[in-house]
Amino acid sequence: MEIAPQRVVYIHYTLTNDAGEVLDSSQGGEPLAYLHGYGNIIPGLENALTGKQPGDKLQVRVAPADGYGERDEQLVQQVPRRAFQGITDIRPGMTFQAQSSRGPMRVVVTRVAGDMVTVDGNHPLAGEHLNFAVEVTDVRAATDEELSHGHVHGPGGHHH
């Protein structure tokens, strides 16, 4: 069965950056299951998989615009330490949920200097080219319930 919208796709993948460092991989575990055409994976990878079949292996390079977007320096801000009520030990690498004009977003502390804390709301892979080695392991029709929920249920998918 060919990969097309409204199909459940199972893939094994290894994601590397341009330096060749492995950032994520399904190897040694279960394949990733996703519902094709529902925005469950980044657009550049989903587009490259359209029309593929079980057994197909491919290398996909995804530009930032088709991955996690370009870095947006407006998402890097300095905030007063007092904004972190009840947290006395703030260190780089800590993550917090913040409210923004775009709704809730995850921010990472990148610097602490005196009473000011620098936070970054960009996805950690924003601005990066993403390199995927992918093997399609299975493709099946999605169930009505999966289609109505917009994601895969059962093994490799979501459990309610």
Which tens digit of pLDDT belongs to each residue from 99-112?
Answer: 877 788 899 999 99
Architecture per CATH, domain 73-120, reads as Beta Barrel (2.40)
Name the residue with tokens 């079980």: 54
| 67, two tokens | 């991955």
User: How far is it, in rounded angstroms, from Cα 19 to Cα 145?
Assistant: 41
Q: What is the pLDDT of residue 157?
A: 59
CATH number of the 7-68+126-149 domain: 3.10.50.40
pLDDT in tens, 18-68: 999 999 999 999 999 999 999 999 999 999 999 999 999 999 999 999 999
Contact 5, 141 (CB under 8 A): no
Sequence length of the chain is: 160
Domain positions in the chain:
7-68+126-149, 73-120
* Residue ranges of E strands in the chain: 7-16, 22-25, 32-35, 57-62, 76-80, 95-100, 103-113, 116-120, 130-141
* pLDDT for position 100: 78
